Protein backbone atom coordinates (compact mmCIF):
# COMPACT_ATOMS: atom_id res chain seq x y z
CA UNK A 1 0.00 0.00 0.00
CA UNK A 2 2.90 2.31 0.77
CA UNK A 3 4.23 1.88 -2.78
CA UNK A 4 0.88 2.84 -4.24
CA UNK A 5 0.86 6.02 -2.15
CA UNK A 6 4.35 6.87 -3.32
CA UNK A 7 3.76 6.16 -7.03
CA UNK A 8 0.17 7.30 -7.44
CA UNK A 9 1.11 10.25 -9.72
CA UNK A 10 2.74 7.92 -12.28
CA UNK A 11 -0.17 5.51 -12.12
CA UNK A 12 -2.70 8.33 -12.45
CA UNK A 13 -0.83 9.76 -15.44
CA UNK A 14 -0.78 6.35 -17.12
CA UNK A 15 -4.53 5.92 -16.57
CA UNK A 16 -5.24 9.42 -17.89
CA UNK A 17 -3.10 8.82 -20.99
CA UNK A 18 -4.81 5.48 -21.62
CA UNK A 19 -8.24 7.06 -21.28
CA UNK A 20 -7.18 9.97 -23.49
CA UNK A 21 -5.82 7.71 -26.26
CA UNK A 22 -8.69 5.21 -26.23
CA UNK A 23 -11.29 7.54 -27.81
CA UNK A 24 -8.77 8.60 -30.46
CA UNK A 25 -8.09 4.99 -31.38
CA UNK A 26 -11.80 4.10 -31.29
CA UNK A 27 -12.71 7.11 -33.43
CA UNK A 28 -10.45 5.97 -36.26
CA UNK A 29 -12.25 4.18 -39.05
CA UNK A 30 -10.83 0.69 -39.24
CA UNK A 31 -10.40 0.89 -43.00
CA UNK A 32 -9.06 4.44 -42.90
CA UNK A 33 -5.44 4.75 -43.89
CA UNK A 34 -5.20 8.50 -44.23
CA UNK A 35 -2.67 9.20 -41.52
CA UNK A 36 0.56 7.28 -41.72
CA UNK A 37 3.88 7.46 -39.96
CA UNK A 38 6.64 5.96 -42.08
CA UNK A 39 4.05 4.01 -44.02
CA UNK A 40 2.39 2.52 -40.94
CA UNK A 41 -1.17 3.64 -40.15
CA UNK A 42 -1.32 5.86 -37.06
CA UNK A 43 -4.49 4.22 -35.74
CA UNK A 44 -2.71 0.87 -35.67
CA UNK A 45 0.15 2.40 -33.68
CA UNK A 46 -2.32 3.84 -31.17
CA UNK A 47 -3.99 0.46 -30.80
CA UNK A 48 -0.59 -1.20 -30.32
CA UNK A 49 0.24 1.23 -27.49
CA UNK A 50 -3.11 0.64 -25.77
CA UNK A 51 -2.79 -3.13 -26.14
CA UNK A 52 0.80 -3.03 -24.88
CA UNK A 53 -0.17 -0.99 -21.83
CA UNK A 54 -3.02 -3.34 -20.95
CA UNK A 55 -0.92 -6.43 -21.73
CA UNK A 56 1.40 -5.90 -18.76
CA UNK A 57 -1.03 -7.14 -16.09
CA UNK A 58 -1.93 -10.10 -18.32
CA UNK A 59 1.76 -10.93 -18.75
CA UNK A 60 2.21 -10.64 -14.99
CA UNK A 61 -0.55 -13.20 -14.53
CA UNK A 62 0.93 -15.59 -17.10
CA UNK A 63 4.58 -15.46 -15.99
CA UNK A 64 5.62 -17.61 -13.05
CA UNK A 65 8.01 -16.43 -10.35
CA UNK A 66 10.00 -19.67 -10.57
CA UNK A 67 10.81 -19.06 -14.24
CA UNK A 68 14.20 -17.70 -15.25
CA UNK A 69 14.46 -14.14 -16.56
CA UNK A 70 15.13 -15.48 -20.07
CA UNK A 71 11.97 -17.58 -20.04
CA UNK A 72 9.92 -14.66 -18.71
CA UNK A 73 11.29 -12.41 -21.48
CA UNK A 74 10.48 -15.05 -24.13
CA UNK A 75 6.95 -15.48 -22.77
CA UNK A 76 6.48 -11.70 -22.75
CA UNK A 77 7.67 -11.43 -26.34
CA UNK A 78 5.45 -14.35 -27.42
CA UNK A 79 2.42 -12.72 -25.78
CA UNK A 80 3.22 -9.42 -27.51
CA UNK A 81 3.45 -11.20 -30.89
CA UNK A 82 0.00 -12.71 -30.29
CA UNK A 83 -1.38 -9.33 -29.20
CA UNK A 84 0.17 -7.63 -32.26
CA UNK A 85 -1.34 -10.26 -34.58
CA UNK A 86 -4.74 -9.55 -33.05
CA UNK A 87 -4.22 -5.81 -33.39
CA UNK A 88 -3.36 -5.90 -37.08
CA UNK A 89 -6.09 -8.46 -37.77
CA UNK A 90 -8.78 -6.26 -36.21
CA UNK A 91 -7.51 -3.12 -37.92
CA UNK A 92 -7.60 -4.98 -41.24
CA UNK A 93 -4.09 -4.00 -42.32
CA UNK A 94 -2.13 -7.23 -42.28
CA UNK A 95 1.30 -7.14 -43.91
CA UNK A 96 4.89 -7.80 -42.81
CA UNK A 97 5.81 -4.14 -42.24
CA UNK A 98 2.74 -3.48 -40.12
CA UNK A 99 3.31 -6.70 -38.20
CA UNK A 100 6.91 -5.94 -37.29
CA UNK A 101 6.12 -2.36 -36.28
CA UNK A 102 3.11 -3.43 -34.22
CA UNK A 103 5.12 -6.14 -32.45
CA UNK A 104 7.78 -3.59 -31.50
CA UNK A 105 5.26 -0.98 -30.34
CA UNK A 106 3.36 -3.55 -28.28
CA UNK A 107 6.51 -5.09 -26.78
CA UNK A 108 8.20 -1.84 -25.79
CA UNK A 109 4.97 -0.36 -24.44
CA UNK A 110 4.36 -3.50 -22.38
CA UNK A 111 7.91 -3.42 -20.98
CA UNK A 112 7.83 0.33 -20.36
CA UNK A 113 4.45 0.33 -18.67
CA UNK A 114 5.46 -2.65 -16.53
CA UNK A 115 8.67 -0.95 -15.36
CA UNK A 116 7.17 2.54 -15.12
CA UNK A 117 3.65 1.94 -13.84
CA UNK A 118 2.60 -1.57 -12.93
CA UNK A 119 5.72 -2.66 -10.99
CA UNK A 120 6.32 0.57 -8.99
CA UNK A 121 2.65 0.78 -8.02
CA UNK A 122 2.76 -2.77 -6.62
CA UNK A 123 -0.08 -3.94 -8.83
CA UNK A 124 2.14 -6.28 -10.87
CA UNK A 125 3.61 -7.76 -7.68
CA UNK A 126 0.16 -8.50 -6.31
CA UNK A 127 -0.91 -10.14 -9.57
CA UNK A 128 2.30 -12.18 -9.70
CA UNK A 129 1.91 -13.17 -6.07
CA UNK A 130 -1.63 -14.45 -6.57
CA UNK A 131 -0.98 -16.29 -9.84
CA UNK A 132 2.56 -17.40 -9.77
- In this prediction, residue 5 carries a pLDDT of 66
pLDDT on residue 25: 62
Report CA 12 to chain centroid distance, whole Å: 17
pLDDT per 10-residue tile (average), the chain, 132 residues: 66 71 60 58 78 86 82 88 87 80 88 87 82 72
Please report the pLDDT score of residue 101 as a whole number.
84
Residue 95: per-residue pLDDT? 79
Give the pLDDT confidence score for residue 33 in this predicted structure: 47
pLDDT at 75: 87
Contact 70, 16 (CB under 8 A): no
- Burial of residue 51 (CB within 10 Å: 0-12, 13-18, 19+) is buried
Amino acid sequence: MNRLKRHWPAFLLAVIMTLALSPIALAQAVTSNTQEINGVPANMMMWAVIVGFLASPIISALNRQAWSSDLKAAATFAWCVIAALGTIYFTGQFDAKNLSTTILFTFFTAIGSYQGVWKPSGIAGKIEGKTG
